[in-house]
């Protein structure tokens, strides 16, 4: 027998219920999307000799491009952070629109820098969040040049789109234009989340 409580629990876990007004969202930053054990600096340290050698090669050399491609492939395949699965989070970023109807953006990729996926290549999947807005919370198309702080339920989910691939899905999200005078990353001395 399905009870009201079990149905609510199922809908919440599946992301079919919007974030409740009283629910507190954990503010995270882009660095939090990568597990600490797989920080990009560790990958770069592994290729320290190759990077030093790369600096001796002429720009655009075939050998140099192969080195860069090898390093980039490893960075692109860093895992997502399982500690974020099912959490209600807030994350500031930029919009790469996917589903636009009547001047409103209903789904999009949230990315760490302006122009990603449109003017420059997409970030790796662990730095790209597929976002679907809650009913009535679509973003206005004329505002997507601004950074937005998006809040919703984060799940680990691979999504392939025409603009790029993501390793996360932020469900039933709502957002607000993010303040221009605030960086998207914490100050260097602040402690990252999970």
pLDDT (tens, 9 = 90+) of the chain, 194 residues, equals 333 333 333 333 333 444 445 568 999 999 999 988 888 788 888 999 998 998 899 988 999 899 988 988 888 888 999 999 999 999 999 999 999 999 999 999 999 988 888 877 788 899 999 999 999 999 999 998 899 999 999 999 999 999 999 999 999 999 999 875 555 555 555 555 55
Specify if 15 maps to a domain. no
Domain count, the chain: 2
Last residue of one domain, picked from the residues 28, 56, 76:
76
CATH value at residue 173: 2.40.50.870
Q: What is the pLDDT of residue 182?
A: 53
The angle at the Cα of 86, spanning 84 to 88, to the nearest 5 degrees, equals 80
Selection from 169, 192, 75 nearest residue 124 by Cα: 75
Q: 87 and 156 in contact (C-beta within 8 Å)? A: no
Q: Which residues of 81-105 are buried (b: 16+ CB within 10 A; e: fewer)?
A: beebeeebbbbbbbbbbbeeeeeeb
Q: Give the residue numbers spanning the domain of 70.
A: 37-76
């Amino acid at each position: 027998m399905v009870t009201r409580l079990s149905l609510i629990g199922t809908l919440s876990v599946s992301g079919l219920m919007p974030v409740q007004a009283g629910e507190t969202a954990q503010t995270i930053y882009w660095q939090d999307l990568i597990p600490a054990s797989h920080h990009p600096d560790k990958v770069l340290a592994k290729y320290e000799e190759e990077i030093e050698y790369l600096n001796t090669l002429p720009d655009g050399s075939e050998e140099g491009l192969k080195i860069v491609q090898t390093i980039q492939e490893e960075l692109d395949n860093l895992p997502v952070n399982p500690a974020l699965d099912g959490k209600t989070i807030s994350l500031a970023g930029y919009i790469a629109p996917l589903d636009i109807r009547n001047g409103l953006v209903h789904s999009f990729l949230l990315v760490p820098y302006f122009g990603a996926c449109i003017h420059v290549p997409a970030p790796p999947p662990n730095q790209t969040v597929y976002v679907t807005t809650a009913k009535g919370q679509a973003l206005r198309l004329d505002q997507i040049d601004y950074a937005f702080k998006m809040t919703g339920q984060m799940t680990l989910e691979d999504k392939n789109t025409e603009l790029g691939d993501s390793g996360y899905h932020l469900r039933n999200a709502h957002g607000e234009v993010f303040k221009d005078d605030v960086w998207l990353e914490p100050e260097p001395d602040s402690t990252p989340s999970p």
